[in-house]
Amino acid sequence: MALDLYADPVDITAALVDIPSVSGEEAAIADAVQEALTRQAGHLEVVRNGDAVLARTHLGRPSRVILAGHLDTVPVNRNLPLRREGDELHGLGTVDMKGGDAVFLSLAATVPEPRHDVTFVFYDQEEVEAVRNGLGRIERELPDWLRADLAIVGEPSNAGIEAGCQGTMRVELRLEGRRAHTARAWMGVNAIHKLAEPLQRLAAYEAREVEIDGLRYHEGLQAVRISGGVAGNVVPDEAVLAVNFRFAPDRTPEQAEAHVREVFDGFDVTVVDSSPGALPGLSAPAAAELVAAAGGKAAGKLGWTDVARFAALGMPAVNFGPGDPTLAHTREEFVHAAEIRQVASVLREFLSPR
Maximum Cα–Cα distance across the chain:
81
> Which residue is catalytic, options 96, 101, 117, 126?
126
For the chain, the 3-state helix, strand and coil shares in percent, each to the nearest 5, are: 35, 30, 40
Which of these, 166, 112, 130, lies nearest to 351 by C-alpha position? 112
Which of these, 148, 168, 179, 190, lies nearest to 54 by C-alpha position? 148
Please give the backbone phi and psi of residue 222, each rounded to the nearest 5 degrees, phi first: -135, 140
> Which residue is catalytic, options 72, 101, 149, 162?
72
Which of these, 148, 165, 179, lies nearest to 64 by C-alpha position? 148
Q: What is the dihedral of CA 339, 5, 64, 122, to 10 degrees?
A: 80
Residue 312's H or E segment, with its range, is helix 307-312
Sequence-ordered list of residues with C-beta below 8 angstroms from that of 19, at least 6 positions apart, any chain: 1, 28, 29, 32
Beta-ladder partners of 223:
243
At residue 238, the 3 state secondary structure works out as strand
70 touches 123 (CB < 8 A): yes
CA angle 54, 322, 38 (to 5 degrees): 25
126 is catalytic: yes
Q: What is the dihedral of CA 118, 120, 126, 129, to 10 degrees?
A: -60
Amino acid at 335: V
> What end-to-end distance do the CA atoms of the chain give, in Å?
36
Catalogue the active-site residues. Answer: 72, 126
